Chain A
Amino acid sequence: MMILSGDPPRSRALSLILIAIVVVLAITPFVFPGAKPLNVAAKICIFAALVASYDLLLGYTGTVSFAHTMFYGIGSYAVAIALYGMGPSWAAVATGIVIGLPLAALLALGIGLFSLRVEAIFFAMITLAVASAFLVLASQLSWLTGGEDGRSFSLPELLRPGTVFIKDLFGVRINGRILTYYIILVGCAAMILGLLRVVNSPFGRVLQAVRENRFRAEALGYRTVFHLTYANVLAALVAASAGVLNAMWLRYAGPDTSLSFSIMLDILLMVVIGGMGTIYGAIIGATIFILAQNYLQALMGAASNAAAEAGLPLLPGLLHPDRWLLWLGLLFVASVYFFPTGVVGRLRGAPKPAE
Chain B
Amino acid sequence: MTDIPAPSASDALPQAKRDLVPVLLPVILALLMLPLVGSFSSWVTLTIASLAMGMMIFIMASGLTLVFGLMDVLNFGHGAFISVGAYVATLVLLPLAGMSQADSLLTNLAVLVPAALAAMAVSGALGVVVERVLILPVYGQHLKQILMTTGGLIVAEQALYALWGPQIIPLPLPTALRGSFIIGDIAIAKYRLLVLLVGIAVFVAIQLVLNRTKIGLLIRAGVENREMVEALGYHVKRLFLGVFMVGSALAGFGGIMWALYREQVHASMGNDLTVLVFIVVIIGGLGSIGGCFIGALLVAMVANYGGFLVPKLALVSNILLMVAILMWRPRGLYAVTSR
Contacts and interface: CB of A to CB of B under 8 A. Distances in A.
A118 B146 CA distance: 16
Contact of A137 (B147, B151, B158, B316): B316
A119 interface: yes
Given A58-B143, A125-B278, 8 more contacts: A64-B147, A125-B282, A129-B322, A261-B271, A326-B159, A326-B161, A336-B147, A340-B144
B9 interface: no
Contacts of A133: 315-316, 318-319
A329 B144 CA distance: 14
Nearest to B134: A333
Nearest to B278: A125
Contacts of B166: 322
B158 A121 contact: no
Contact of A329 (B141, B151, B165, B339): B151
Interface size class of B (residues with CB under 8 A): 35 or more
Interface string B149-174: 01110110011011101100000000
16 contacts: A114-B323, A114-B326, A118-B330, A125-B281, A129-B275, A129-B282, A129-B322, A272-B147, A320-B162, A326-B161, A328-B154, A330-B155, A333-B155, A336-B138, A336-B147, A336-B148
A355 B148 CA distance: 14
A136 B147 contact: no
Contacts of A308: none
Given A129-B319, A325-B154, A333-B151, A119 B159 contact: no
B60 to A, nearest CB: 15
Nearest to A331: B151
B151 A119 contact: no
A329 B154 contact: yes
Interface string A327-339: 0111011001100
Interface of A: 58, 62, 64, 114, 118-122, 124-126, 128-130, 132-133, 136-137, 140, 261, 265, 268-269, 272, 314, 317-318, 320, 322-323, 325-326, 328-330, 332-333, 336-337, 340, 355
A274 to B, nearest CB: 13
A117 B271 CA distance: 27
Contacts of A124: 74, 76, 146
Contacts of B137: 337
A121 B68 CA distance: 10
B305 to A, nearest CB: 18
Interface string B129-141: 0000010011001
Contacts of A265: 150, 154
B143 A120 contact: yes
Nearest to A62: B143
B238 interface: no
Contacts of B282: 122, 125-126, 129
Contacts of B159: 326
B74 A136 contact: no
Contacts of B214: none
A121 B151 contact: no
B292 interface: no
A265 B155 CA distance: 11
Contacts of B155: 326, 329-330, 333
Contacts of A58: 143
Contacts of A318: 162
Contacts of B138: 336-337
A329 B76 CA distance: 14
Given A121-B74, A122-B282, A326-B158, A129 B146 contact: no
A119 B158 contact: no
B315 A121 contact: no
B48 interface: no
A136 to B, nearest CB: 5
B212 interface: no
B329 interface: no
A213 to B, nearest CB: 14
A268 B147 contact: yes
A114 B325 CA distance: 13
A128 B282 CA distance: 12
A286 B319 CA distance: 32
B104 to A, nearest CB: 37
Contacts of A269: 154
Contacts of B141: 355
A268 B150 contact: yes
A332 B150 CA distance: 9
A301 to B, nearest CB: 14
Contacts of B275: 128-129, 132
B339 A129 contact: no
A130 B146 contact: no
Interface in B279-334: 279, 281-282, 312, 315-316, 318-319, 322-323, 326, 330
A136 B158 contact: no
